[in-house]
Amino acid sequence: MRSFRSVLKWGALTAAAALFLSMIPALPAFAGSISTVSIRVDAGGDDAFQVGAYMDDSAVEVTTPGGDSNKYTIAEYSFNNSSKAYFSADQAPTLTIALEAAEDYTFTLTKASQVKLTGDAKPAYQSALKKEDSTRLEVTVTLDALKGKAGSIEYADWDVKRDGTLEVMAYGGNDYQIQLYKDGKKYSSIIDIASRGGGNQVIDMRPYIMNAGSYTFSVRQYNQATHSRGPWFDVENKYNVDEASAAASRTQYGYVSRDGYGWKKDSSGWRYLTPGGYPKNDWIRDNQHWFWFDDQGYMVTGWRLIGGKWYYFNGSGEMLENTITPDGYPVGADGAFIAS
């Protein structure tokens, strides 16, 4: 058993130790190290993230997947393409994402490979910058999912102020493809029209309208580099063409190579280039005449057996109709030989 004197001595030592500890300043808690981060960038839905859509931060969703998400959170994010109001096909949008470290943590990563990026917006690393004593990390990425894609047509219709022209409004910098219909049936091959920039464009279709009738059309965006195609925009309003107007178009535009398409001649003969290539074993109607192209894609002349019927084509390749051929045989209104 301790003596009274030893108890007093022990109590004095304990009090002195307590006084010494109280004089030591409080040490800061150990700061945790964040050496890698994971960021996922997805499309925001409702067609908000597509070529031609308005460039708004809500077009994408940014999250922090993985087990370390408790160490940092998404503080904010925004697009950097301030000179563009709409997503385009030729320039991938850039997005800066600010991460905020949790209490007692700092960002210590030093390499691009330490930023893990996923998501259907296809984020690609561009840069990272540590701020506020390394408690904030700003990561800039490009979103490659839209590059080379074709978006939707905003508006299209016939231009009531100009004969034979149509108006198309779209954003994104893509070209257009147009399908003409006459009296409810396909009238043309798909026609490629080069873009002259985003916004409203007026396109003259008179070089393609050669016959009297009621015309409608469909139009879509088209990216020549990637062959991406947007959805068709159908216009049911009619553009009515009388015979006098059709004749004027035939006089002005008939047998003319339009936008690089039309008649092409090489050492083997004449072919007819369309946006879909050179037709083979098929008919083409141009300037009110029918032409037939063989299995090599060349215009034919003379007698030809097509679909079980004989037809005669003159030296210009034009199918004769409702007449007597140079060698004395009758052909009907459809051009087919009339058997006696």
3-class DSSP state of 225: coil
pLDDT, position 138? 97
How far apart CA 119 and CA 39 sit, in angstroms, is 8
- Kindly state the helix (H) or strand (E) to which residue 116 belongs, with its residue range: strand 115-118
- Kindly state the helix (H) or strand (E) to which residue 157 belongs, with its residue range: strand 155-158
- How much of the chain exceeds pLDDT 70, in percent? 87
> In the predicted model, is pLDDT for residue 318 greater than 80?
yes
Average pLDDT over residues 50-71: 86
Q: Is the pTM of this model over 0.85?
A: no
> In the predicted model, is pLDDT for residue 193 greater than 90?
no
> In the predicted model, is pLDDT for residue 66 greater than 70?
yes
pLDDT band at 265 (very low <50, low <70, confident <90, very high): confident
pLDDT, position 304? 97
Q: Give the pLDDT confidence of 149-183 residue by residue, as tens digits.
A: 888 898 999 998 888 899 999 887 888 999 999 99
How far apart CA 251 and CA 230 sit, in angstroms, is 35
Place of tokens 């990390």: 137
Mean model confidence pLDDT for the chain: 85
pLDDT, position 190? 86
